[in-house]
Structure 1
Amino acid sequence: MTDHADIRYTAAPGEAATPHEATAPGRPRRAVRGLPDRWLATLFVTPSIALLLAINIFPLIWTVYLSFTNFRANQPGRPVEWIGTRNYERLLGSEDIWGYLQATAHFVVWTMLIQVAIGLGLAMLINRDFKGASFWTTIILIPMMLSPAVVGTFWTYLYQPQTGIFSAIVDLFTGLGPIDMIGSVSLAPWAIIIVDTWMWTPYIMLLCLAGLRSIPDYLYEAAEVDRAGPFQTFWHITLPRILPFLMLAVLFRGIENFKMFDMVVELTSGGPGSTTELASINLKREAFEKWRTGYASAFAVILFVTVFGLGNIYVKALNRVKS
């Protein structure tokens, strides 16, 4: 058999061999006007890299720079003064900032605990083979298809103490009378937790359902042969197999809830007082109401470092579980 690298082109009498036809041994032919493959790859990748730098990297670098200045966006002609770490010192020494971070942590932790518990339970119910499972799955998924701003507005009416359905249901089962979920300092944080749980539990359910359906049937058959009880089967087979899916769901939803904004603004606007003023809401007020752009940029950098650090630790734990 003749090796392809040794093939030569022999021109007919009076015909000149072209460069593409008289290729040197071992040298690949170029399909696009003789451009090397590396140049072609660079030509296609460069626009994507430039777009990534323009949309993500440059704003991040600009925000870090502004965090060390006293820049105000509503005074563009004002000279920008470099003030070093003064914005960070004010932030870390402010009790209000720690209160906003505490409210955010309260919201994130409780939504994750409740959503994981309910989402896992719904996934185990839907995973059973019964008539109408597809229909009920679609019904459960409806809340996560809506816009958070729409959901916030919708639940604002449900929470009305005199005319809202939620207050009427609570009064029916407890006899406590009308309750103001949004206007109460003690109940307002739980009001936004309930709404977020209603909206995003289906997302947790979907990931758990994917994990449940990836478990081989022979594992359950072996457990049945060994006469393992329902709890033992769940603890030793189901939970270890779906744990990576659960952790992935918590990672995605935790990051999203850490920067939750639109739904909470529509529900409570951070009130009553600053009870439900999450870090993202305070950041918006500092940047676009008080126009302390440098100060707000420092706060944004702190939030970014916090989420990035926690996310990195969590991903390492997730990799250990998967391995």
Structure 2
Amino acid sequence: MADKAMDRIAKATPPGIAKRVRGLSDRTIAWIFVAPSIFLLLAVNIFPLIWTIRLSFTNFRVNRINADVKWVGLRNYERILTDPDIWQTMQATAHFLIWTIFFQVLIGFTLAYLINKKFRGNDMWTTIIVLPMMLSPAVVGNFWTFLYQPQIGLFNYVVSFFSGVDPASFSMIGSVNLAPWAIVIVDTWMWTPFVMLICLAGLRSIPGSIYEAAECDRASKWRQFWTITIPMVLPFLMMAVLFRGIENFKMFDLVVQLTGGGPGSATEVTSINLKREAFEKWRTGYASAYAVILFVTIFGLASIYVKALNKVKER
């Protein structure tokens, strides 16, 4: 069937075009097919990045297009790196990053380890656990905002029960100390299934013969877990941490839906601060420098982490 289809295409090709195609090398034909994708990549990713870097050295404001644009050099970068408010948002971002990854890896691996054990209803429970990951962040944010409301919020009743506060006047997302943890809970609930699936793939990639050999050597289950399971699943765990770390560093939608960065600046992460600088204060040049710093930070940390991941894979 494939040969007949190719013959029909060859016969339908105009003779002039057919001669030109026969004269092209395989390398040239490959570039012809790849060129549109490269052009699209340059237009969508590379050009905006170069343009952002250029704007970061100016005082450009997008709401003052007719104003003179001055070259300010490294002044924007200096102001950002010496601004205590910026470092406070960095600390808030680090708080979300560390704790969400910790809980997602811990719970995700535990669920994957339990589901990997064959039992009745295994497939059904896997589907139920994965459901939160399929929802839109906007839907999840609105749903959990409802759960965090005074009087009707389940978590508010739990916290108020242990703290002795009236639940009718208490809200987790309205508390400076608890609002960050409220977002950690939501993000963990939503993205733990993602980590679970990666860990599950790692567990099921371990050959059963290795465990059989360990049992022949009279290795205990605990010994098998630490000497076989953990080392062989570690690259998958590290990959999950990499994916979730990059995404959580850019956390925006859940924070906006739940708290909007408040109360005060308790949950104002770097992405929200960047949005305010760019689209509320209209300091485009300053915001561009901020974006470049965040990009370099993520890219640098990810590169170091990938090198460590490759070393683990080589063992």
TM-score (structure 1 length as normaliser): 0.88
The answer to whether the aligner puts 1:38 opposite 2:16 as a matched pair is no
- Deviations 1:72-114 (CA, angstroms, capped at 9, x unpaired): 0111111211000000010011000000011001100111111
Does residue 1:193 correspond to 2:187, yes or no? Answer: no
Partner of 2:102: 113
Match in the other structure for 2:304: 313
1:119–1:208 contact (8 Å) kept in structure 2: yes
Distance 1:321 1:257 in 2: 23
CA contact (8 A) 1:153 1:267 kept: yes
Q: Is the 8 A contact 2:155 2:172 kept in 1?
A: no
Which of 248, 253, 256 matches 1:265? Answer: 256
2:215 aligns with 224
Find out whether 1:84 has 2:69 as its counterpart: no
Confirm whether residue 213 of structure 1 aligns to residue 204 of structure 2: yes
The 3-state SS of whatever aligns with 1:260 is coil
Radius of gyration: which is bigger? 1
**Relative to structure 1, is the Cα distance of residues 229 and 83 closer, same or farther in structure 2, using a 3 angstrom cutoff?**
same
Q: Tell me the residue number matched to 1:278.
A: 269
**Which residue in the other structure is 1:252 paired with?**
243
Residue 69 of structure 2 is aligned to residue 60 of structure 1: no
Code of the aligned partner of 1:249: A
The yes-or-no answer on 1:148 pairing with 2:137 is: yes
Amino acid of the structure 2 residue aligned with 1:92 = L
1:71 aligns with 2:60: yes
Matched to 1:161, the amino acid is P
Structure 1 residues 30 and 247, CA, compared in 2 at 3 Å: closer, same or farther?
farther
Partner of 1:301: 292
Contact 1:260/1:280 (CA < 8 Å) preserved in 2?
A: yes
Task: Give, as a single letter, the amino acid of the residue that structure 2 aligns with 1:64.
Answer: I
| Contact 1:161-1:180 within 8 A present in 2 as well | yes
Deviations for 1:8-59, whole angstroms, at most 9, x for unmatched residues? xxxxxxxxxxxx9xxxxxxxx9793433323222211111111100000000
Q: CA separation of 1:322/1:31 partners in 2, compared to 1, >3 Å: closer, same or farther?
A: farther
Q: What is the CA-CA distance between 1:173 and the residue it aligns to?
A: 7.4
Aligned to 1:181, which of 172, 176, 181?
Answer: 172
Q: Is the 8 A contact 1:30 1:36 kept in 2?
A: no
Task: Tell me how far apart the structure 2 counterparts of residues 175 and 208 of structure 1 sit (CA, whole Å).
Answer: 40
Distance 2:211 2:83 in 1: 55
Amino acid of the residue matched to residue 85 of structure 1? L
Task: Label 1:123 to 1:58 Cα distance change in 2 as closer, same or farther (>3 A).
Answer: same
Secondary structure of the equivalent of 2:176?
coil
| Structure 1 residue ranges, 4+ long, deviating more than 4 angstroms after superposition | 169-177
How many equivalent pairs are there?
A: 296
Aligned to 1:8: none
Tell me the SS of whatever aligns to 2:174.
coil
Cα distance in 1 for residues equivalent to 2:295 and 2:251: 14
Relative to the length of structure 2, the TM-score reads 0.90
Q: Which amino acid in structure 2 is aligned with residue 194 of structure 1?
A: I
Amino acid at match of 1:222: A
Deviations 1:208-259 (A, max 9, x none): 0000001111121222223322321111000000000000000000000000
Q: Between the two proteins, what is the percent identity of the paired residues?
A: 69
More deviation in 217-226 or 195-204? 217-226
Provide the C-alpha distance between the structure 2 equivalents of 1:36 and 1:226, rounded to a whole number of angstroms.
Answer: 59
Once residues 109 and 269 of structure 2 are traced to their aligned partners in structure 1, the CA distance between those partners, rounded to angstroms, is 27
Q: Does 1:240 align with 2:246?
A: no
The residue aligned with 2:7 is none
Q: Report the AA paired with residue 215 of structure 1.
A: I
Q: Work out the CA distance in 2 between the residues paired with 1:139 and 1:168.
A: 26
